[in-house]
């Protein structure tokens, strides 16, 4: 399948680019080619690419992911996370290209300890989650006849860019002990697994657009940030003790959901996608980091 990706330098987009030639043709468009801060401009670029007849599907892997900065730069985050996905989805629908959009657990309020199903009520706590939710609504409203999917995921990590794994490895090398939040629970998810899931979904939609809708995909087993950090230290060979602390002891400009568990059963039923074991994904990321340093 020939897939056009919006995004190039992000964690998932980087992993999508690596799938080129592995049974798929992948082309990633970075900000220099398609700037999502100009939603209608990006939509016109999609239409132009569609007119060439090359792409068979589109994946939006670009987003404003600076959660705290979104609290003070809401207009910019809204253009990229809300207006751009809607504009791209409309353009893809007009061209009859299936469309997959990556979203987040932050559309939920994090109440309780039950995993959130795709149809659970949404109630984002901060600007980032609100902009992502509006983007979801725009994608759904486009009603793409070729098929569309919103893939919510959580706690993305890889060997690329800035993420929790790389931060913990750095701090673990500098300190003997570290305090990490222990009352936020979710599923760390390897970016590589998300990329493969997105391509699998585009293929499935091409065969059966009725599988369109909102789907969840996150790593297993669920853990806390402190639990994730301990595994990073153990696998990464860092002699750094991790102590769990409450979120109240580590205030951030944007509130984080305490419960980021996602119910992924319907995604497995529709696409055969099993939740990846994040511990195996962590091992692969650490191996790659060793090879590149």
User: Which residues are tagged catalytic?
Assistant: 128
Please report where in the chains the tokens 């493969």 appear, as a residue. 196
Using CA atoms, how far residue 199 sits from 27, 31, 175, 266, in Å, is: 12, 21, 40, 17
Closest CA to 272 of 187, 188, 189, 204: 204
Per the CB < 8 A criterion, the answer to whether 236 and 286 are in contact is yes
Longest dimension (CA), the chain: 57
Nearest residue to 72 via CA among 235, 261, 254: 254
Cβ-based neighbours of 153, under 8 Å, separated by 6 or more: 102, 103, 104, 105, 189, 194, 216, 217, 218, 262
Rounded Cα distance between 108 and 171, Å, is 30
Measure the CA–CA gap between 36 and 33, rounded to whole angstroms: 10
């Amino acid at each position: 399948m020939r897939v056009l990706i919006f995004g190039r330098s992000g964690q998932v987009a980087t992993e999508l680019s690596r799938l080129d030639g592995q049974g798929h043709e992948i082309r990633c468009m970075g900000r220099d080619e398609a700037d999502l801060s100009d939603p209608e401009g990006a939509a016109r670029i999609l239409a132009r690419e569609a007119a060439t007849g090359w792409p068979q599907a589109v994946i939006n892997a670009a987003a404003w992911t600076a959660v705290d900065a979104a609290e003070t730069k809401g207009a910019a985050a809204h253009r990229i996370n809300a207006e751009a996905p809607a504009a791209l989805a409309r353009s893809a629908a007009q061209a009859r290209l299936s469309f997959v959009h990556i979203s987040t657990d932050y559309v939920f309020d994090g109440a309780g300890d039950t995993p959130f199903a795709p149809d659970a009520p949404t109630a984002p706590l901060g600007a980032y989650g609100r902009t992502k939710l509006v983007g979801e609504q725009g994608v759904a409203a486009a009603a793409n006849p070729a098929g569309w999917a919103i893939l919510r995921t959580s706690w993305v990590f890889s060997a690329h860019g800035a993420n929790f794994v790389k931060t913990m490895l750095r701090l673990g090398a500098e300190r003997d002990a570290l305090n990490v939040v222990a009352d936020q629970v979710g599923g760390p998810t390897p970016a590589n697994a998300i990329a493969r899931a997105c391509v699998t979904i585009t293929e499935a939609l091409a065969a059966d657009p009725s599988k369109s809708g909102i789907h969840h995909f996150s790593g297993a087993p669920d853990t806390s940030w402190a639990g994730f950090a301990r595994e990073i230290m153990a696998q990464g060979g860092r002699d750094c003790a991790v102590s769990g602390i409450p979120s109240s002891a580590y205030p951030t400009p944007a509130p984080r959901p305490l419960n980021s568990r996602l119910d992924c059963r319907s995604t497995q039923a529709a696409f055969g996608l099993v939740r990846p074991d994040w511990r195996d994904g962590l091992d692969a990321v650490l191996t790659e980091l060793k090879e590149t340093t």
